Amino acid sequence: MTRIPVEKAKGAEAAFADAGELTEQIRRLAFHLFESRGGGDGHDLDDWLEAERELILAPRPELLQQDGRLEIRMPAEGYEPGEIHVTASPGALVVKAASERKAGQKILLRTIEWPQPIDVDRTTARLDNGILHVTAIRQKQEQQPVSA
């Protein structure tokens, strides 16, 4: 079991800060696919989606909820702890991993919305036998004064 640092983000903007680089990689591959089939209109969305499939791995997460605690388990086999980046905001979790050792390995990328807002300061992540575990605690509901 290896701990993974969790970047704390107060809003969703910080979690998507480096999306531009990945979008550019997808764009270049989609254009290559367009050229390799001789061009022609009408297949740009197909080329884009195929480029995403070739570059991105989006494993299906499992969400467990118990006693105010949320845990996400997600396959992350083939990635070292230092290659995995976890960003937590009150409303969502972003997991990104890219292998620096294996050329051609897909980029693991997954965004998961929390069912309830979480306390980002109490969020932890660990990698255990190729499974990423992210544990979060639900935010405490603020008590609203009852007006008479």
pLDDT surpassing 60 at residue 137: yes
Q: Which fold has domain 2-15+57-138?
A: Immunoglobulin-like (2.60.40)
Model pLDDT for residues 63-115, shown as the tens digit of each residue: 999 999 999 999 999 899 999 999 999 999 999 998 876 667 789 999 999 99
Distances (CA, A) of 120 to 29, 34, 54, 74, 92: 35, 42, 32, 19, 10
Cβ proximity of 137 and 80 under 8 Å: no
Segments making up each domain of the chain, as ranges: 2-15+57-138
Q: What is the pTM of this model?
A: 0.80
